[in-house]
Amino acid sequence: MKRVIAIIALLFAVVTTTAQERHYDIDAIDILGQRSIKEIGIQHTKLDSLVLKENISLSMADVLAFNSSIFVKSYGRATLSTVAFRGTSPSHTQVTWNGMRINSPMLGMTDFSMIPSYFVDDASLLHGTSSVNEAGGGLGGVVKLSTEAADNRGFGLQYIQGIGSFRTFDEFLRLTYGNDHWQTSTRVSISTSANDFRYTNRDKKINIYDEDMNIVDQYYPMERNKSGSYRDIHLLQEVYYNTGYGDRIGLNAWYINSNRELPMLTTDYAEDAEYDNRQREQTLRAVVSWDHLRSQWKLSANGGYIHTSMAYDYLRDPGNGTMTPMTRSRSKINTLYGRAEGEYYIGSKWLFTASLSAHQHFVESRDKNIILQEGNKAIVGYDQARVELSGAVSAKWRPTDRFGLSLVLREELFGTELSPIIPALFIDGVVSKRGNVIAKASISRNYRYPTLNDLYFLPGGNPDLRSESGWTYDVGASFAVGRKGQYSLSGSATWFDSYISDWILWLPTTKGFFSPRNIKDVHAYGIELKADGSLQFAREWELGLAATLSWTPSLNTGEPLTEADRSMGKQLPYVPEYTATINGRLMWRGWTFQYKWCYYSERYTMSSNDYTLTGKLPVYFMSNISLEKSLSFSWADLMLKGAINNLFDEEYMSVLSRPMPGINFEIFIGITPKW
């Protein structure tokens, strides 16, 4: 930990002392606009386009791992990746895309490895209490993703190709057209990879036998990642029409076709050629939006639809050359979505908002084909529908430039269950105009209702589950200084404190299957630090540096399950106590060198925090670098880029028995013609 603190301190020192040496006037603040009344007391992290558009092979899981304080739990390369804020679970992170919630209604979580960052134009994280402004149920926070009009005139085209280690190929094409009223954009990406990276498997050994089948030698094998190939296709169509008189209509439709093998564990002795373990997904997400803007008020209405078909197959060749199903699971989700929102300003000091959103889910889950006792066949599964309503009103008041107060009241309905009122109160104030030092505080109560699998999955669904509930508050301060075209420096520090009750956990039963129960109370608290700086320290040279550090104890505070339970007061499994990221960028005449680094402290794999030989996930550091050159010609802009991931070829795991790749390489070439 000391090393991490030292690194962060050094980063600050590099940025700040360099600024001092150059005798910049700290008082010369000219880059800061007026604070938005909408953002009173909000704790958020905004990811800029440089981060989101770094390269076409990145998913939002990769972007968040290196650019935010939230924890990304990755089960492997191009494999399930979930994110969690502030020591909570992935299902406590609500995710919206163009306003529509995209968490799986069956699982509650979102797979961020399925979201290419090149398909996101605007991403922000609303931490803790701040999530109530956007949605209910975000006990950890909200990840808000959206697309935006390209704002081009005429036709535009961008094509990027990437080639990487492990036979990885990425293609990205974007076509745009725009005029004063219309903006259209079509984005396509195709990613394929054998994903068969080599690694030394230290969880197993290979035996060498003599003729009498006595072991005469053993060694750790150098293995390939088995059953890890994938092919993901994404298509995003956007159409926007702007009347020029304050009305804008938009259509966003995102189609995903994914076919991924599920990698074998490091402890698996099966021959991968005899098995096929595969997940296929087809998803369509579409949103139609209308915004009506006037000087003092705004109305907007959205309608949307999500369709997801998931197929999971685990097949084995029993020796006759025919792959035969052992597990054949199917699910279909259809979601209808609607949202209406209004904002009304009274002068510049008051803002009132109201919103109502509805998600109607229809879910069919087919998990197993069986032969009944009578000899006929049947399928084990469930078929359920649920409506989820969420309404919120807010009043935001900024009587002076130095002070703001905001109150949000939210009410949610899921099925026939009405949640208690979800209140959130925010306050902020300018402590010092010199340095733009702003203090913020907020408090909220929140609820997350059980998922459809929690309630109805067969076998194991528990219809008697209660909603999880939580209190959270945070206090913090931020500052921002800079001089346009010369330097900028901003930072924030936030203390947060959350209490979550009735945490839902799936536990085995004596009947051999798992079933969820309201079992834990959790106290999560800690500190989030962020710093961001840029400096143009010489002619045509620019240095950018962003860093985060978080300390997130997340402790089980419930009653012991039995007298033998040693998990009380212990850190939750797989929640690191410390995480840190650094992202540095050095630019000169079209050249960009980037260094990315992230750090996770050890993660316990047991609720009792025993640190055993077979259950350890030690600290790891990850370093990636890239070098990019942009070339501008009269006929086109060209981009060439090379990237090295896992620079120091570190052996690491994010989850037990899930292999991760060592050092690997990617090159990208892009062209943007000028018509």
Partner 1 sequence: MRRLLLLFAILAVGCMEWDYGLEEDFNFEASERGLFICNEGNFQYGNATLSYYNPDTRTIENEVFYRANAMKLGDVAQSMTIYDNRGWIVVNNSHVIFAIDLDTFREVGRITGLTSPRYIHFISDEKAYVTQIWDNRIFIVNPKRYEITGYIDVPRMTMEQGSTEQMVQKGKYLYVNCWSYQNRILKIDTETDTIVAELEVGIQPTSLAMDCNGKLWTVTDGGYDGSPYGYERPALYRIDPETMTIEAMFEFKRGDAPSEVQLNGLGDTIYWINDDIWAMDVTATNVPVRPFLDSRGTIYYGLTVDPVNEDVYIADAIDYTQPGKVYRYTKQGELVDEFYVGIIPGAFCWK
Please list every residue from 202 through 221 that binds partner 1, using CB under 8 A: 202-205, 207, 209, 213-215, 218, 220
Least separation, in Å, of the C-beta of 656 and partner 1?
5
Q: Quick one: 546 exposed, middle or buried, by C-beta within 10 A (0-12, 13-18, 19+)?
A: buried
Q: Is 324 in the site for partner 1 (CB under 8 A)?
A: yes
* Residue 611 lies near partner 1 (rule: CB under 8 A): no
Work out how close the CB of 446 gets to partner 1 at its nearest, in angstroms, rounded to a whole number.
25
Answer yes or no: are the C-beta atoms of 496 and 523 closer than 8 Å.
no
What H or E segment, with its residue span, contains residue 516?
A: strand 514-538
User: DSSP character for 118?
Assistant: G
The whole-angstrom separation of Cα 187 and Cα 164 is 21
Q: Distance between CA 163 and CA 614 in Å, rounded?
A: 36
Interface positions, 345-374, toward partner 1 (CB under 8 A): 368-373
Q: Of 57-65, 407-415, 488-496, 647-655, which part binds partner 1 (CB under 8 A)?
A: 647-655
Amino acid at 561: L
Among 566, 589, 629, 674, binds partner 1 (CB under 8 A): 566
Q: Between residue 109 and residue 128, which ones bind partner 1 under the rule CB under 8 A?
A: none
Bridge partners of residue 549, in order along the sequence: 529, 580
Among 34, 320, 400, 614, binds partner 1 (CB under 8 A): 614
Question: Which SS3 state, helix, strand or coil, does residue 23 take?
Answer: coil
**Region from 12-20, 176-184, 229-237, 383-391 binding partner 1, contact rule CB under 8 A:** 12-20
Q: Is 8 in the site for partner 1 (CB under 8 A)?
A: no
Question: With respect to partner 1, which residue has the nearer C-beta, 237 or 608?
Answer: 608
Q: Please report how close the Cβ of residue 38 comes to partner 1 at its closest, in angstroms.
A: 37
Residue of 89, 567, 581, 645 interacting with partner 1 (CB under 8 A): 567
Per CB under 8 A, does 562 bind partner 1?
yes
C-alpha 555/C-alpha 285 separation (Å) is: 37
Q: Binding string, 421-460, against partner 1, x = CB under 8 A? A: -------------------------------------xxx
Binding mask 460-489 for partner 1 (x = CB under 8 A): xx----------------------------
Please state the separation of Cα 631 from the chain's center in Å. 32
Residue whose pair of structure tokens reads 């600290």 in the numeric block: 619
Site string for partner 1, 515-544 (x = CB under 8 A): ----x-------------------------
Picking from 89, 84, 45, 86, the residue whose alpha carbon sits closest to that of residue 67 is 45
Q: Does residue 509 contact residue 473 with C-beta atoms inside 8 Å?
A: no
601 touches partner 1 (CB under 8 A): no
374 to 413: interface string for partner 1, x by CB under 8 A: -x--xxx-x-------------------------------
> Hey, is 661 helix, strand or coil?
coil
**Among candidate residues 286, 302, 301, the one with its CA nearest the CA of residue 252:** 286
* Nearer to partner 1 among residue 248 and residue 596 (C-beta): 596
623 is a contact residue toward partner 1 (CB under 8 A): yes
Q: Which is nearer to partner 1, 237 or 369 (CB)?
A: 369
Residue from 354, 385, 395, 507 in contact with partner 1 (CB under 8 A): 507
The residue within the footprint of partner 1, chosen from 85, 599, 603, 626 (CB under 8 A), is: 599
- Within 10 angstroms of residue 446's Cβ, the number of other Cβ atoms is 29
Contact criterion met (CB below 8 Å) for 547 and 8? yes
Q: How far apart are CA 10 and CA 6, in angstroms?
A: 6
Return the residue of 401, 635, 651, 669 that touches partner 1, per CB under 8 A: 651
Is-contact 112 80, C-beta < 8 A? Answer: no
In this structure, are residues 239 and 184 in contact, taking their beta carbons and an 8 Å threshold?
yes
Confirm or reject binding of residue 511 to partner 1 (CB under 8 A): yes
49 three-state secondary structure: helix
Shortest Cβ 16–partner 1 spacing (Å): 12
Under rule CB under 8 A, residue 266 binds partner 1: yes
Position 20 contacts partner 1 (CB under 8 A): no
* Interacting positions 298-317 with partner 1 (CB under 8 A): 314, 316
- Is 569 a binder of partner 1 (CB under 8 A)? no
Instruction: Report the amino acid identity of residue 17.
Output: T
# of chain residues touching partner 1 (CB under 8 A): 92
3-state DSSP of 4-15: HHHHHHHHHHHH
For 321-348, b/e burial (b = at least 16 CB within 10 A) is eeeeeeeebbbbbbbebebbbbbebeee
